[in-house]
Each structure stands twice: as structure tokens, then as C-alpha cells.
Chains A and B, each alone.
Chain A
Amino acid sequence: MSGITSSTALWYASRATGIICLVLLTAVMVLGILVNRQGRLPGLPRFAVTGLHRNLSLLAVGFLAVHVATAIADPFVTIGLAAVVVPLASPYRSLWIGLGAVSLDLMLVLIVTSLARAHIGRRTWRGLHWLAYACWPVALAHSVGSSGDLRAGPLLALTAACTLAVAGALTWRIVRARRATPRARRVAVVLSAQAGAR
């Protein structure tokens, strides 16, 4: 009986760290959306929400590194170093690995620009940070397409939960934004609230 070869170990490690990465990125997305509209997690001070957002994204980078390294090191599939950052450079499952490369590239941009925030200016940083809305769905597509893991069983439920979490946070944000008073009406709103209160 063949035991678990080192190749199989690498393959399992890559899939496992990939899944953890997806969960971490989902948490990072949800926290990022909440911070922006001043949402808070019950019981957590405000700085904890941003702190978690930051720390989880750095943790995700760690797991991503292992995920990528094990996938390349695994001799069973040929992915190649270039395919890590260059989409469609992988002979194995070009499209799905390619999406992984795209989301990794986007993640790098997001993290590097965030670390250098003070130096690139507020507007530039904010503009680039919108790429997060591209990064997460691409990462999700890569996860679902690269192996059958997430398409069945408990992992399918996990994938669905991640999707619902981001969709839910996004919906909340959009509804809040729609309901927000436009700048030109803000003072008038406070004024009528005062008149009403008296």
C-alpha cells in the first residue's frame, strides 16, 4: 500500500493553506467594508476592527506564501515559478492558476500601497484600495476552480458562507451609503432635527 508520499503531503498542504487563505481574505474583506462605513463589531473597540483587518491580511500573506511554495514544490503538477505572478504561465490548469496569480498580484499591490500609505497620499491610496473588490472574487474563483475541494461537502458550505459574508457586508454598506444624507443636505438635516427636538 502506498503511504502518503511527500508529493501528496505537499499537495494537501497547498490545498489546506489555500482554504485558510480564502477564509482569512474573507474576514479581511468583511472587516475592511465595516471600517469604511464606521461599522463596529459588537464588543470590540474601534481600533480592534482596523487592527484585525491589518493583522489578518498579513497573516493571509503568510499562508499564501506557504500555499504557493507547496504548490510549486509539488512535483506531481507543473506550475512553475513564473505562474505565481504571471497569469496563464502555468501549463497546469492555466486559467484557474492564472486567476490565482491575478489575485496574488492584486494582494501585493493592496498590501504594499497600504504599508506605504503615508508616502503615496490619501487619494492615491484610496483609489488603489478599491482593487480589493477585484482581488477577493478572483481569489474565490481561483479557489473554486483549481480543485474540486470546495465544490462538495462541508467545504462547499464554507465557500457559501464566505460568499454570503462578503455579499452581506457589501449590501449593508451599499444600503447605508444610499441612505446617507448627501453633503449638500447635511446641515439642513441637523437643523430640522434640532427644531424637532425643541
Chain B
Amino acid sequence: MSSRLRVNPIACAGHGLCAELLPELISLDEWGYPVLGGQPVPAGLDRRARSAVASCPALALLLSPAP
């Protein structure tokens, strides 16, 4: 079952940990906020995606089941 990364932009304060931990899927815009691709998380990156979600100091990164 694949999943998708989402950001709660209200909670997000631009800490930027997610982009450091998962550069394959998350990059930062010129203001420090995460840019997500929107594609499902590849199986190989699933564990690291979960780790990035757990590491966000603002709990703004979410992993939801892909529709």
C-alpha cells in the first residue's frame, strides 16, 4: 500500500528537517518551506519517510494513504 506525503502549511514553521532527511522527495523553496512532489512514496523510501514525519518539530509533515 503506497502512501503520500503532505504538509500542514499552517503548522509548518520552515524548520527544514524534512528536506535534510528526505532530499529525494522534499526540497525547500527560497523561503525555507518544503516543496513536495505529490507522487506516492516509493517503497524503498517508506521507512525514511516515516522517520522524517516523526522528526518534524512542528508535527507538520504527514503521511497519508494514497487515494
Contact = CB atoms under 8 A, between A and B. Distances in A.
Q: Do chains A and B touch in the complex (CB under 8 A)?
A: yes
B15 A46 contact: yes
A45 B54 contact: no
Interface residues of B, number: 14
B57 interface: yes
A122 B15 CA distance: 16
Interface residues of A, number: 12
Contact of B57 (A35, A45, A118): A35
Interface string B1-38: 00000000001011111001100000000000000000
B39 interface: no
Contacts of A130: none
Main secondary structure of the interface of B (DSSP, over half): loop
A12 interface: no
Contact of B14 (A38, A117, A122): A38
B53 interface: yes
A94 interface: no
Interface of A: 35-36, 38, 45-47, 50-51, 117-118, 122, 125
Given A50-B17, A117-B54, A118-B59, 8 more contacts: A35-B15, A36-B57, A38-B15, A45-B20, A46-B15, A47-B17, A47-B21, A51-B55
19 contacts: A35-B15, A36-B57, A38-B13, A38-B14, A38-B15, A45-B20, A46-B15, A46-B17, A47-B20, A47-B21, A50-B17, A50-B57, A51-B55, A117-B54, A117-B59, A118-B53, A118-B54, A122-B11, A122-B59
